[in-house]
Amino acid sequence: MKLFFGILTALLLCNVSLAATNNCDTIPSKYLGNFVDDYKIRYSVSDSLFIQHPNVKYHILSWNLEGQYIIASNDAGNPSEQNLYTRIDFMDFQNMAPFLWGFCFTRFDAIDAEAAEAAASADRQHPKKGCGGFPFSRMKRE
């Protein structure tokens, strides 16, 4: 019984849902840290928080590395879409240094995490327009 509660506590501390395909030890370091996109917007990404500076926060509920997306709850203090749910699709880039990866806010106004996860994925085959007709935001280390 103690082992069960220990595992459950570890999962909660890592902010990883039981349905996630990973845990906080398996998230590649290239996705974690401080970044700036090609629009000069700054971001901080951890295993549990995706921040678009200066004041937009997404609390990460799960990382799906195989599907290349994050499910998050929108912070109550965000300027819009407070307390709703977001799907953030991401992808790696080749031959775009210093931009190594990019993301797309695929859905940012879902009523719950399940609706966010059910959203159609971004079109990674066409990263210049695969994010609802817009390009993926390209990320480089700050």
What's the pLDDT score for residue 26? 86
For residue 48, pLDDT beyond 90: yes
pLDDT tens track for 77-131 = 999 999 999 999 999 999 999 999 999 999 999 999 999 999 999 999 999 999 9
Compute the CA torsion angle 101, 84, 116, 13 (nearest 10 deg).
Answer: 70
For residue 23, pLDDT beyond 90: no
Q: Kindly report the average pLDDT of the chain as a whole number.
A: 88
pLDDT tens track for 4-22 = 444 433 444 444 443 454 4
* Cis preceding linkage at 54, omega within 30: yes
